[in-house]
Homo-oligomer: A and B are copies of this chain.
Amino acid sequence: MTTQTKTITIALDVMGGDFGPQTVLAGAEISRKRYPEIRYLLHGEEGAVAPELEKYDQLRTQSQFVPCDFSVPMDMKPSQALREGRRVSGMWKALESVKSGEAATMVSAGNTGALMAMSKFCLRMMPGIERPALAAVWPNLQGESIVLDVGATIGADADTLVDYALMGSAMARALFDIPRPRIGLLNIGVEEVKGLEEIRLAGSRLREIDLPGLEYSGFVEGDDLGKGGVDVVVTEGFTGNIALKSAEGTAKQVGSYLRDAMSRTLMARIGYVFAKQAFARLRDKMDPRKVNGAVFLGLNGVVIKSHGGADALGIASAIDVAHNMARNQLQQKIEADLDAARSAREEASIASRGDRS
């Protein structure tokens, strides 16, 4: 297909992340080999980037290096990062290249708070969207789902949850290639505390929305995140962040129990030798690096956040997500969906006024 071989330009914040240019460039090289159509805009400080870039001939010729004078430290407060890093930092310049259309998306493993603040400031929110959401890909027993918001914004009213649902379904169509993603609203199931008012309200609004690219499936609970069953799980950012980290912590915990059990007795160690490949496959399946790369949604441009502690493979996963989003025109899909939802809402309101008159 011709769309797959068209050049896709991705802006990289080369200075971001706990391990800096060495790791970011190694990750960039992995993704470039996977997707030769990728071209990079490499934003970073010349002294730090140039020597590393020397190592990769083809990456260097397929990329454009854009020097900057400042890099946002991982622990700098967002407000300070914005004051000091605006216009001059690699992070900002990478965002600017998305804004100008030079790059289709940008990837940063840098300071999350600074990235969010700069993204909002540089790219601005999409018309009608008030607050950004961070969307993560969550593996489950039936495949994968998109969960949002996992921590961009604390608190969400019904309208915001509906916006998240629309943006999440656009992302699911772009990433998983399913025509009509099923949407679930995260809630708790105990009878008398049947959830927050805004979640109930968001549910009834989603039920009313009649869009070809979205199917509202109702409430889901915390254990459905691992079970699967819907393609998009919508929740407010505080809860989403706690749920994500709680799941990550549990996966590590079980992995640790397993290692412990398999090394405790001679028989277990013998068993481990036989089942070595199976364990390798399991480790691979549970490798958090493979699902690295969360997406900031709601901005005028797609911004991909990698874990700060990601190694080269993790960075490559985040770049792969960026590539996928760009190739499948996520931003355009989201814009079209939000427009369609808005028109549908207006038509419904005109119709209901007509009914009453």
Give A residues with C-beta under 8 Å from B: 77-79, 111-114, 116-117, 140-141, 151-155, 186, 188, 190-193, 195-196, 221-227, 235, 237-239, 241-258, 261-262, 264-265, 267-268, 270-279, 281-282, 285-286
A249 touches B222 (CB 8 A): yes
Cβ of A274 to closest chain B Cβ, rounded Å: 3
The 10 nearest A-B residue pairs measured at CB: A222-B245, A271-B275, A113-B191, A226-B249, A271-B274, A223-B249, A268-B278, A113-B192, A226-B253, A222-B246
Contacts of A262 in B (CB 8 A): 275, 278
Contacts of A196 in B (CB 8 A): 154-155, 238
Given contacts A117-B192, A193-B151, A273-B271, contact A222 B241 (CB under 8 A): yes
Cβ of A194 to closest chain B Cβ, rounded Å: 9
In the complex formed, the residue of B with least CB distance to A270 is: B274
A113 touches B190 (CB 8 A): yes
A251 touches B250 (CB 8 A): yes
Not counting A224-B249, A227-B252, A243-B243, a sample of 6 additional A-B residue pairs whose C-beta atoms are within 8 angstroms of each other reads A77-B192, A141-B253, A151-B188, A223-B245, A254-B254, A271-B273
Which of A196, A253, A277 has the most CB atoms of chain B within a 10 A radius of its CB? A253
- Can you show 27 pairs from A to B with CB atoms below 8 A apart? A77-B192, A78-B191, A113-B190, A154-B193, A195-B238, A221-B245, A222-B247, A222-B248, A223-B245, A223-B249, A226-B246, A226-B249, A227-B253, A239-B242, A242-B242, A243-B246, A247-B247, A247-B250, A250-B250, A250-B251, A250-B254, A254-B286, A261-B285, A267-B274, A268-B274, A268-B275, A275-B275
Which of A247, A248, A252, A255 has the most CB atoms of chain B within a 10 A radius of its CB? A247
Q: Which of B223, B242, B253 contacts A222 (CB 8 A)?
A: B242
In the complex formed, the residue of B with least CB distance to A243 is: B246
Contacts of A117 in B (CB 8 A): 192
Contacts of A235 in B (CB 8 A): 242
